[in-house]
Amino acid sequence: MTEVIRRVRPGDEIEIAAMVRELAEFEKALDECTVTETQLHTALFAEKPVAYGHIVEIDGEVAATAVWFLNFSTWDGVAGIYLEDLYVRPAFRRRGLARKLLATLAAECVENGYSRLTWAVLNWNVNAIALYDAVGGKPQTEWTTYRVSGPELTALAGEQA
């Protein structure tokens, strides 16, 4: 069995889009997932990308992905990685691929002087939570995540003076 973890390259957006939809279905939110391959290609491969990613291939078949972007800590004064999506296809689960992707991103942080690797997990995803606990992740229970999107985003933007 040949296992390769690598940075994404043009053409991977096809498999990434498919896995994002698979993840959305797993998270019971497929109706909210509108991403296109073109959008992913632009986000990942523009002159100034807004997202980055890694792929795991097993014997040439795409088995998993991690899509992430840089954030910035005003307290630390340096960048960090925010892991937007980590997905392992069902046929490839229980092989340690998610942990290997997390280790790859941790190495990316260390190599680039980034101070943190951050992500979110759904409260009911006990398998993911067990992994995140096992790698030393600490839930940030003192923070509540907020989001403004859709009509509320448009309405708030309309308040701009």
Is the distance from CB of 64 to CB of 92 less than 8 angstroms? yes
Q: How far apart are CA 59 and CA 3, in angstroms?
A: 6
How distant, in Å, are the alpha carbons of 84, 121, 145 from that of 78? 19, 24, 21
Note if 52 is an active site residue. no
Q: Which of 52, 87, 114, 132 is catalytic?
A: 132
In sequence order, the 6+-apart residues with CB closer than 8 A to the CB of 37 are 13, 14, 17
Tell me which residues are annotated as active site.
Answer: 132
